[in-house]
Amino acid sequence: MKITGYELFFVEPRWLFLRVDTDEGISGWGEPILEGKAHTTAKAVEEMFDHLLGQDPARIEQHWQMLAKGAGRLDQGGHRR
């Protein structure tokens, strides 16, 4: 199973929800959060999601570590420097 895409859902006044889709038709839901900064958070999701495309969605901890700690050390092609 591979991650194929996502969709963001804004809920006024300040919430943001994320649906992550897979090639097997299974979707997962999450709530990316930075209290009161839904649009800022959405932009971060948009900029960082390319690193998840094609990845195994079951590797949650690995994705978290890369996005939280390693994304700043990725080059323009999404590869570790």
List, run by run, the mean pLDDT of 10-residue segments along the chain (81 residues): 97 92 97 88 92 94 84 55 50
Confidence (pTM) = 0.78
What is the Cα–Cα distance from 35 to 80, expressed in whole angstroms?
A: 30
CATH label, 3-73, candidates 3.30.230.10, 3.30.390.10, 3.90.420.10, 3.10.450.50 = 3.30.390.10
Instruction: Say how far apart CA 40 and CA 53 lie, in whole Å.
Output: 21
DSSP E strands: which ranges in 1-81? 3-11, 15-22, 27-30
Q: What is the pLDDT of residue 55?
A: 95
pLDDT of residue 25: 97
Amino acid at 32: P
pLDDT at 73: 58
What does the pLDDT read at residue 26?
Answer: 97
